[in-house]
Amino acid sequence: MRTLVLVALLSAPLALAQNVPCESIDGSYRECRVSSSGIIRLTYEMSDARCYEGVTWGTKEGGVVWVSRGCRAMFIADREKSTLPPDRIVCESENGGRKVCPANTRNGIRIARQLSAKPCNPEVSWGYDKSHVWVDDGCRAEFVLGPEHVQEPQPALEGVTTCQSLDGRRVECRADTSAGVQLIRTFTADKCSFGTDWGYDRKGIWVANLCRAAFAVKRTGAARASSIVCESSSTRSNCAADTMFGVALARQLSEKACVLDETWGFDATGVWVTGGCSAQFALGGYRLPPDAVPPGAQKVICDSLDGSRNVCAADTTRGVGLVRQLGDIECVLNRTWGYERDAIWVSGGCNAEFAVGH
């Protein structure tokens, strides 16, 4: 059925010519030109592997989209930037870099519509002076020029959490919803409708009916980690989990040894165990927000040059956290980075800043 959809789109009239497929075959990195200008968005996923903006797909200047890690999808240029009203501009941080856009900000400027999965935080990932607006760290947004209407101050939604109904059943995801929740990106062709496919209460966010999305929530200011327990007797067991940033074995619960890629591992859908391995696994890839790094922690930058494995000396006896990804290639724990007692290793193009010890 997906093949028929693809053929239909490719043979459609010129009005649909902006629908362009871009496919990561065998997990490889690939770039595709979608349009000479405009706001590029994902319209339809064709792969079983999930497509996450900024992780497995993104955009570059000149109307180019890139995909990796098995993401295969259709993309479209939403609309030409030149058709925006005169009091609006679009400014986009390409591949996490800083971008400066000319703008008449003498009477003020504010975000009208966030276009990126990564949050746009004032003076952190966007700001302005008298004649420019700048964006950084993956922030992509449409801005409106002119004085801002006075409103009651609202708590900032600076955190991002992912919640997914992989098999159509209702799933509940813990999150700080005290400041509200905003859906910022769906990972499926079907829409996620509030109240029917997703919602939230004081405990967290819930999704159902195959809704898979990223949500903006209030960030607590401290590192938050989640974990799951996955158990097997002699046969293989699969446990659904968000493995986007990687998985680590936190605590072995069985007498049988749990060995990575032998009796346990993970893929795009979750964690698997076999051969009697039962354990608690840490999710989230040991990623730390900058304000959660202990004051005395040592910072280490480790870069996989040309995709090769690189080992960087570091005292990891008190743990390691990934603070900031510095390259375009995603850093996934126990796939493209990891650590031993006296070193951090990176491979596959991962380039990141790590915090160790305190």
Structure confidence by residue, pLDDT tens digits, 252-276: 888 889 998 899 998 878 899 999 9
- Give the pTM: 0.40
With a cut of 70, say whether residue 6 has pLDDT above it: no
The pLDDT, as a whole number, for residue 219 is: 53
Task: Determine how many CB atoms are found less than 10 A away from the CB of residue 64.
Answer: 16
Residue 116 exposure: Cα atoms within 13 Å on the Cβ side:
27
Structure confidence by residue, pLDDT tens digits, 271-289: 999 999 998 888 877 777 7
Q: Do residues 34 and 20 lie in contact, with contact meaning Cβ atoms separated by under 8 Å?
A: yes
User: How many residues does this entry show for the chain?
Assistant: 358
With a cut of 70, say whether residue 90 has pLDDT above it: yes
Domain ranges of the chain: 2-77, 84-145, 159-217, 226-283, 290-356
With a cut of 50, say whether residue 12 has pLDDT above it: no
**Top-confidence residue, 348 or 214:** 348
Q: What is the mean pLDDT of the chain?
A: 77
Q: Do residues 285 and 243 lie in contact, with contact meaning Cβ atoms separated by under 8 Å?
A: no
b/e per residue 264-290 (b: at least 16 CB within 10 A): bbbeebbbbbbbbbbbebbbbbbbbbe
The pLDDT, as a whole number, for residue 4 is: 34
Q: For residue 148, what pLDDT band results from cuts at 50, 70 and 90?
A: low
The pLDDT, as a whole number, for residue 150 is: 44
